[in-house]
Amino acid sequence: MDNDRVLRGYRMMRALETIRAGMADIVALAVSLALSVSICTGLLYFGKSLWWVYVQTPVGQQFLRMFSKDASELFQLYDHNLYRLALAVHWFVVRAALLVGIMSQAAFLTSEFYDNTEGLRRFGFCLAPFIAFGTWHVHTTMYLGWFTSSVLVAVASLLVLDPAMRVASRLLPDGILLRIPLCFWHECRRLLTAMRRFPTSSRCPFTECHQR
C-alpha cells in the first residue's frame, strides 16, 4: 500500500514537472517572438527613416533617376504597415518552426542533428536551410526584396527557432513515427510466434482430461 502511494506521488511529481517545463518553454517562445517582432519592426522603421533622408540628398535623387525600379520597390515596401509586415513574417516563421520541430521530433532528427550539435554545425544543419527556405517563401509570397526577406527571416529564425523546437519536443515522444511501425512489427512477430506454438489439433486438452 505504501509503495503504491509512493509510486503515485512520484508519477504526479513527474507530470507536474513536465507541465511546468512545457509552460516555461511556451513562455520562452512568446517572449522570443515578442522580442523578435520588436527588433524587426525597429529595423524596418529605421530603414524607412534612412531611406527618406537618403532620397532628399543629391546622391539619392541621382539614385532615383538611375535605378527607378529599385526605388519604386523600396517606396512600395515602406508604404506598408511595417508592424503588420513584421507580424506576417513571424507568423510564417513560427508555424514553419513548429512544423519542422514536430516532424524532426517524430523522426529522431531533433536528438541527432539539433540537440547534439552546437555553433557552426547547428547553423549549417538547421538554421541555414531554414533561413534559406524562409527567405524564398517570404520573397515569393510577400513580394519583398531578397535582402529585406533574408534579414527579417534571419532575425526571426535566430530568436524563434530554438524555443519552437523545444516546444515541439514537449508535444511528441522522440521518434514516434519510427516507434509505431517497430512496435507493430514486434507485436506481429510475437503473435505469429504464438500462433506457431499453438497446437494444430482441434481437440482441447482440458476436455480430454475431463473425459478420462
H or E element in which residue 3 lies: helix 2-54
Find the range with the poorest average confidence among 49-58, 78-87, 125-134. Answer: 125-134
pLDDT, position 211: 47
Asked if residue 165 lies in contact with residue 110, where contact means CB atoms within 8 angstroms, the answer is yes
Looking at the chain, how many residues does it have? 212
Residue 116 is placed in which grid cell?
547534439
Instruction: Provide the grid cell at 95.
Output: 508555424
Q: Does residue 167 lie in a domain region?
A: yes
Q: What is the mean pLDDT of the chain?
A: 80
> For position 94, what pLDDT does the model report?
92
Cα atoms in the Cβ-side hemisphere of radius 13 Å centred on 25 = 18
Residue 64 C-alpha cell reads as 532615383
Total count of domains within the chain: 1
SS3 of 195, please? helix
204 in any annotated domain: no
- Exposure on the CB side of residue 204, measured as CA atoms within 13 A: 4
pTM for this structure? Answer: 0.72
Q: Residues 179-197: what's their mean pLDDT?
A: 70
pLDDT tens figures, 62-89: 988 888 888 888 888 888 899 999 999 9
Q: What single DSSP character describes residue 81?
A: -
Tell me which residue of 84, 85, 182, 168 sits closest to 126, measured CA to CA. Answer: 168
Containing structural domain, residue 137 = 2-196
Neighbours of 75 (CB within 10 A): 13
